[in-house]
Structure 1
Amino acid sequence: MKVLIVPNYARADAVESARRLEAWLDDEGVETIWARDKRLFPDAGESADGCCLVVSLGGDGTLLRAARIVGYSGVPVLGISYGHLGFLTAAGPDDLLETVRDALAGELHVSRRATLDVECAFELEDGTTQLTHAFALNDFALSRGGAGDMVEFDVAVSGKHIDRLRGDGFVVSTATGSTGYALAAGGPIVTPEFGGMVCVPIAPHTIMARAFLTAPSDVVEIEMSPERPAMRHFFADGQPIRHEGGTGVRACVRRGPGDLVLLDRGAQSFYDSVSRVFYGQVGK
């Protein structure tokens, strides 16, 4: 039995708790490995192969890092909150050992969260096109570049053209990501059981563009307009998607081939979090 520990290295309390967890797991006969500090090892390749559990100690950003390590493998992820909101986490520091014990015993609720498979096309200086794939639990985002110019792009769903839009960008999120960037851009809060995608224009230069939902089998296609070659960026869960020397020209977003297995205290955890974070119940 092996557990991967993913702490927020910027928080001393999270690192100290990770050490305490490692000592307890060692006493229980459970092998532990640590994700590396990304500040010291920015290019470290990491895997959860052979692990029965991944424990994230930090905020939702740390849990998203754990999700990227797990990918589509189905290894369960347990989040312990050391952040500000902890929307995706199951418990706080005071309940660390008890919650991990319950997770290892199979006594926590299992929430299967849809993921995204993002394929981005980059045009190189020699005119060729290269493809890059990225995993996302929350969202894919097209964003305008540092020059501040708006971007122009076409949106289609499963081959059906929706519109050509101008604005600051576009977000394609899972139900899990509906409470993140998509919500900030004006999208709805969506129950985790929804398996489709949430599509939200960012500051569109029209009052007609609205958020919409897709079916789980749909593919969202975003094509940059060649008539307006403004600087633009692609992101998956806030992490830049790049290709050396290439300019992003197209993105296809579909449901990932595997769900993320997220552990929590019960089926109502999502609505408890919605009430606490978005309806004025923080700290109550």
Structure 2
Amino acid sequence: MSEFQNIGLIGRTESDSAVVSLKRLMVFLEREGYTVVLEKETAAAVSALNAQISSKEKLGELCDLVIVVGGDGSLLAAARALAKFSVPLLGINRGRLGFLTDISPDEVERKVGEVLVGKYMAESRFLLDMSVTRAGKPLGKGSALNDVVIHPGEFIRMIEFDLFIDGQFVYAQRSDGLIISTPTGSTAYALSGGGPIMHPKLDAIVLVPLNPHTLSSRPIVVEGSSEFKIVVGEYNTTNPYVTCDGHEQVVTNPGDIIRIHKKPHRLTLVHPLEHNFYEICRKKLNWQLS
């Protein structure tokens, strides 16, 4: 008997191709005797009138496994909502790159079927918690599987901030911002900003300056247990934004304090047995020899 009996489904509802894959997956799971629970927006997209429906957060309590059909953005959103429930996630790629959603649409039945009978590998990933305070009072918070980014927001202007790691002053910087990335996010925005690729198993965090005014300011890799404090500079002419995975955001004022640290709950990603990080890098980042 499979360890996964109650299967949650979350889909990229604005994508016609994702809806097609969701319907195909539902037929397969129900034929094999699994209980399917649809996230409510997903249920509306596939017109599943008689299906069991749940909020995204409730899936974490009801399901043994959640399958995300969409791109990496869809899986990031699911991870932020479900990490605290310890429910594993499996991704089917209906997006672009697909670093996290690694099952292709044409092999849904075979690959998902293998996972459901125990032929899979599980990978633990950590997330980041972010909070902002103003004059000692909470202003906003968020979490990220990929990265927390401080940036100018609506205007293209340099911003100033002071960075502290584990209570120690690191630098006062003028730049377009700063990316604080997990290993999972090292192949995303941080990579575009010149940061290193980090293997997902690393317990490390990378800080990548965005177009720093001092050209010698380079990415720094620190241990995953590090705690970061960023003080927004008093003389900024714009209000820096703080975003988590490009979605949850807080608009700051001079003097606000941003704190970032590892989230206590970890995410379990499920992959087919042949999953290979380096092969994914070769394919997605075009490392193949010409």
Same fold per superposition (TM over 0.5): yes
Following superposition, the deviation at residue 86 of structure 1 comes to: 0.9
Q: Give the 3-state SS of the residue equivalent to 2:268 in structure 1.
A: strand
- Alignment of 1:164 with 2:172, yes or no, is yes
The superposition leaves residues 121-175 of structure 1 with CA deviations (integer Å, 9 ceiling, x where unpaired) of 2x3xxx6722433221111011112122211001111001100101111011100
Distance 1:225 1:130, change over 3 A: same
Distance 1:171 1:45, change over 3 A: same
2:35 is aligned to 31
Distance 1:267 1:234, change over 3 A: farther
- Alignment of 1:97 with 2:109, yes or no, is yes
Structure 1 residue ranges without an equivalent (≥5): none
Q: In 2, distance between residues paired with 1:103 and 1:72?
A: 22
2:120 is aligned to 108
Q: In 2, distance between residues paired with 1:228 and 1:128?
A: 20
Q: In 2, distance between residues paired with 1:111 and 1:45?
A: 22
Following superposition, the deviation at residue 52 of structure 1 comes to: 0.7
In 1, are the aligned partners of 2:119 and 2:273 still within 8 Å (CA)? no
Instruction: Choose which of 14, 30, 38 in structure 2 pairs with 1:10.
Output: 14
The superposition leaves residues 162-213 of structure 1 with CA deviations (integer Å, 9 ceiling, x where unpaired) of 0010111101110010001111111000001111211111111111211011
The superposition leaves residues 212-256 of structure 1 with CA deviations (integer Å, 9 ceiling, x where unpaired) of 11112211211101232522111111113237xx74822211111
Distance 1:140 1:241, change over 3 A: same
Structure 2 residue ranges without an equivalent (≥5): 46-54
Q: Give the 3-state SS of the residue equivalent to 1:227 in structure 2.
A: coil
Aligned amino acid, residue 17 of structure 2: D
Q: In 2, distance between residues paired with 1:33 and 1:268?
A: 26
Q: In 2, distance between residues paired with 1:281 and 1:138?
A: 25
- Alignment of 1:134 with 2:142, yes or no, is yes
- Alignment of 1:65 with 2:69, yes or no, is no
Aligned amino acid, residue 264 of structure 2: P
Q: Give the 3-state SS of the residue equivalent to 2:85 in structure 1.
A: coil
Following superposition, the deviation at residue 59 of structure 1 comes to: 1.2
Q: In 1, distance between residues paired with 2:222 and 2:188?
A: 18
Q: In 1, distance between residues paired with 2:63 and 2:167?
A: 39
- Alignment of 1:173 with 2:181, yes or no, is yes
Instruction: Choose which of 195, 204, 209 in structure 2 pairs with 1:201.
Output: 209
Aligned amino acid, residue 89 of structure 1: T
2:57 is aligned to 46
Following superposition, the deviation at residue 6 of structure 1 comes to: 1.2
Provide the aligned C-alpha RMSD in A: 2.4
2:160 is aligned to 152
Q: In 1, distance between residues paired with 2:74 and 2:288?
A: 23
* Percent identical: 31
Q: Give the 3-state SS of the residue equivalent to 1:134 in structure 2.
A: strand
Q: In 2, distance between residues paired with 1:94 and 1:223?
A: 49
Q: Give the 3-state SS of the residue equivalent to 2:102 in structure 1.
A: coil
1:216 is aligned to 224
Q: Give the 3-state SS of the residue equivalent to 1:46 in structure 2.
A: helix
1:119 is aligned to 131
Distance 1:37 1:247, change over 3 A: farther
Following superposition, the deviation at residue 267 of structure 1 comes to: 7.1
In 2, are the aligned partners of 1:71 and 1:135 still within 8 Å (CA)? no
Q: Give the 3-state SS of the residue equivalent to 2:264 in structure 1.
A: coil
- Alignment of 1:258 with 2:265, yes or no, is yes
In 1, are the aligned partners of 2:67 and 2:90 still within 8 Å (CA)? yes
2:250 is aligned to 242
TM-score normalised according to structure 1 size: 0.88
Q: In 2, distance between residues paired with 1:129 and 1:83?
A: 39
TM-score normalised according to structure 2 size: 0.87
Q: Give the 3-state SS of the residue equivalent to 2:265 in structure 1.
A: coil
Q: In 2, distance between residues paired with 1:207 and 1:266?
A: 43
Q: After TM superposition, what 4+ stretches of structure 1 lie above 4 angstroms from structure 2?
A: none
Following superposition, the deviation at residue 269 of structure 1 comes to: 1.6
Q: In 1, distance between residues paired with 2:212 and 2:164?
A: 16
